[in-house]
């Protein structure tokens, strides 16, 4: 299954690419587990094939964005029709349907604006929060990731002494500074899942805090669930101190379920950032959604939100097609995907038990993580360097055995996941687990 255009082996191809592309990847977060970056020539359903003809079960899903399944006919047809009809106009006639679908499913989506990346839309949310409250700083949590902007980087694993383990993804040189410095200038970086800590901070500094931003399920910190009642308490505290609550649902939105984590936990934030799966995985779209009165600041020209490609036809078409596909029959596609994924988790866990490898699997089925350790992580702070290092060993063994996972330990399925894929996983995972145990 070699590509027509690239008959070279992946090794040779990588030498060619690395001459110009730093590390052979366009994204530092791929460096930890891709010493020899993989280049694909074909993908179908839940499978993908690399240049050397190796077949993988794709639980990487473009960092969680790919939700509709590779080669999804309905999705591709919608994109093709858009290319032929309105590709290069600034905006097209599909906004209404795309927006109405988002508003129907996401509880906080009274109004909606599109962008391209999660990184930029988070910055727009912070800007709106500052303008709305007239305050300047924001609260963020250790272990949460909100994009690749200077003011919000860092804060992963304090036990390593470094905000993001620099051995893996690169340190923060060239940004505003390490977490400590940016904390001094813009944000307070505090532990998650502890409402008392947030309450104390708001008591003393609430007068200068515009926003609290959180992943409602901390997928980036190891798929850690919020403690019972935690998100509700955060909501109450934000109301009490006139602070805008921002849920970053760039991963959980349309992956955890149609209404995201906010629907699951019954907590409605003031603003929500969406991205990744919202456009199915084939093209980039992000969205900032929220309360009408806050979003009105954009209409009143009190706050700027701009971008040359915002609302581009291919993106809008992708959102419309994705949400139509996901919402059909009461969101059956996502529930079926989750069922299959639970089967995969059970197989992984039982093979690990058989091999005597300590392993936990945690988080919602659509964005769960495995961890090579004994106890479920109750806080992203517990996701330390030691666990990450073991997770990477399992990641690399899975990869060698034809199972591709994402960001070290996350397993992102798409809705085409079927019984054959579960069997494929079953047949290959034993080797991967045994290899990991032996290292």
Q: Supply the residues annotated as catalytic.
A: 145, 248, 276
Within its chain, how far is the Cα of 220 from the centroid?
7
* Closest separation in Å from C-beta 125 to ligand PMP: 10
**Beta carbon nearer to ligand PMP, 218 or 337:** 218
Segment 305 to 344, residues that bind ligand PMP, using CB under 6 A: none
Distance CA(66)–CA(63), nearest Å, equals 8
117 binds ligand PMP (CB under 6 A): yes
* Closest separation in Å from C-beta 152 to ligand PMP: 9
Q: How far is CA 138 from CA 103, 153, 250, in A?
A: 26, 13, 19
**Beta carbon nearer to ligand PMP, 63 or 312:** 63
* Closest separation in Å from C-beta 379 to ligand PMP: 17
Of the residues 135, 146, 410, 428, which one makes contact with ligand PMP according to CB under 6 A: 146
* Closest separation in Å from C-beta 273 to ligand PMP: 7
**Beta carbon nearer to ligand PMP, 219 or 359:** 219
Distance CA(14)–CA(181), nearest Å, equals 37
Q: Which stretch binds ligand PMP (CB under 6 A): 67-75, 80-88, 146-154, 323-331?
A: 146-154
Build a one-symbol-per-residue string for 48-77: x at contacts with ligand PMP by CB under 6 A, - elsewhere. ---------------x--------------
147 binds ligand PMP (CB under 6 A): yes
* Closest separation in Å from C-beta 163 to ligand PMP: 16
**Beta carbon nearer to ligand PMP, 248 or 382:** 248
Beta bridge partners, 290, equal 111, 271
Q: Give the residue ranges of DSSP H helices in 92-229.
A: 95-105, 118-133, 166-169, 179-185, 195-205
Residue 46: half-sphere exposure toward Cβ, Cα within 13 Å: 24
* Angle between helix 95-105 and helix 313-355 axes, rounded to 10 deg: 40
122 binds ligand PMP (CB under 6 A): yes
Asked if 142 and 224 touch (Cβ cutoff 8 Å), the reply is no
Exposed, middle or buried by CB within 10 Å (0-12, 13-18, 19+), for 279? buried
**Beta carbon nearer to ligand PMP, 154 or 275:** 275
Of the residues 69, 154, 275, 364, which one makes contact with ligand PMP according to CB under 6 A: 275
**Beta carbon nearer to ligand PMP, 230 or 424:** 230
Distance CA(7)–CA(51), nearest Å, equals 8
Distance CA(359)–CA(375), nearest Å, equals 8
Distance CA(30)–CA(377), nearest Å, equals 23
* Closest separation in Å from C-beta 249 to ligand PMP: 8
# residues near ligand PMP by CB under 6 A: 15
Asked if 280 and 74 touch (Cβ cutoff 8 Å), the reply is no
* Closest separation in Å from C-beta 313 to ligand PMP: 20
Q: Whole-angstrom distance between the N-terminal and C-terminal Cα of the chain?
A: 32
363 binds ligand PMP (CB under 6 A): no
Segment 165 to 224, residues that bind ligand PMP, using CB under 6 A: 215, 220
Phi-psi region of 75 (alpha: psi -120 to 50; beta: other; left: phi over 0): alpha
Q: Which two tokens stand for residue 194?
A: 């502890």
Build a one-symbol-per-residue string for 227-266: x at contacts with ligand PMP by CB under 6 A, - elsewhere. ---------------------x-xx---------------
Dihedral angle computed from the Cα positions of residues 30, 272, 144 and 253, in that order, rounded to the nearest 10 degrees: -50
Q: What share of the chain is helix, strand, coil (3-state, %, to 5)?
A: 45, 15, 35
Q: Which stretch binds ligand PMP (CB under 6 A): 118-126, 162-170, 199-207, 388-396?
A: 118-126
**Beta carbon nearer to ligand PMP, 45 or 147:** 147
Asked if 303 and 297 touch (Cβ cutoff 8 Å), the reply is yes
Asked if 172 and 164 touch (Cβ cutoff 8 Å), the reply is yes
33 binds ligand PMP (CB under 6 A): no
* Closest separation in Å from C-beta 60 to ligand PMP: 12
**Beta carbon nearer to ligand PMP, 147 or 366:** 147
Residue 180: half-sphere exposure toward Cβ, Cα within 13 Å: 3
**Residues that bind ligand PMP in the complex, under the rule CB under 6 A:** 63, 117-119, 122, 145-148, 215, 220, 248, 250-251, 275
């Amino acid at each position: 299954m070699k590509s027509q255009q690239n008959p070279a082996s992946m090794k040779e191809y990588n030498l060619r690419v690395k001459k110009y592309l730093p590390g052979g990847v366009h994204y530092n977060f791929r460096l930890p587990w891709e010493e020899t970056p993989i280049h694909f020539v074909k993908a179908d359903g839940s499978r993908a094939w690399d240049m050397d003809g190796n077949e993988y079960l794709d639980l990487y899903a473009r960092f969680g964005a790919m939700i509709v399944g590779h080669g999804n006919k309905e999705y591709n047809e919608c994109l093709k029709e858009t290319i032929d009809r309105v590709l290069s106009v600034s905006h097209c006639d599909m906004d209404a349907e795309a927006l109405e679908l988002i508003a129907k499913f996401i509880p906080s989506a009274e109004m909606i604006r599109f962008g391209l990346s999660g990184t930029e839309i988070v910055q727009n949310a912070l800007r709106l929060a500052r303008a709305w409250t007239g305050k300047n700083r924001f609260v963020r949590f250790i272990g949460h990731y909100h994009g690749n902007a200077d003011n919000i980087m860092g804060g992963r694993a304090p036990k390593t002494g470094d905000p993001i383990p620099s051995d893996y993804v690169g340190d923060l040189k060239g940004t505003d500074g390490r977490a400590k410095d940016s904390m001094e200038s813009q944000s307070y970086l505090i532990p998650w899942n502890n409402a008392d800590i947030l309450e104390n901070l708001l008591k003393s500094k609430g007068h200068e805090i515009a926003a609290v931003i959180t992943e409602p399920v901390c997928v980036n910190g190891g798929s850690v669930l919020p403690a019972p009642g935690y998100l509700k308490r955060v909501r109450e505290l934000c109301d009490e101190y006139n602070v805008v609550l921002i849920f970053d649902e760039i991963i959980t939105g349309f992956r955890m379920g149609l209404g995201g984590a906010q629907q699951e936990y019954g907590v409605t934030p003031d603003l929500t950032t969406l991205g990744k799966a919202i456009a199915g995985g084939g093209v980039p779209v992000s969205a900032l959604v929220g309360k009408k009165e806050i979003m009105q600041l954009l209409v009143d020209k009190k706050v700027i939100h701009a971008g040359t490609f915002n609302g581009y036809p291919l993106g809008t078409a992708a959102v419309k097609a994705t949400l139509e596909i996901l919402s059909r029959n009461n969101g059956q596609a996502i529930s079926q995907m989750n069922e299959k994924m639970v089967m995969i988790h059970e197989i992984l866990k039982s093979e690990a038990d058989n091999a005597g490898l300590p392993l936990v699997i945690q988080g919602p089925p659509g964005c769960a993580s495995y961890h090579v350790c004994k106890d479920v992580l109750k806080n992203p702070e517990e996701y330390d360097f030691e666990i990450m290092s073991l997770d990477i060993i399992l990641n690399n063994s899975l990869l060698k055995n034809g199972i591709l996972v994402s960001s070290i330990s996350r397993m992102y399925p798409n809705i085409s996941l079927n019984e054959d894929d579960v069997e494929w996983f079953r047949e290959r995972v034993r080797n991967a687990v045994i290899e990991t145990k032996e290292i």
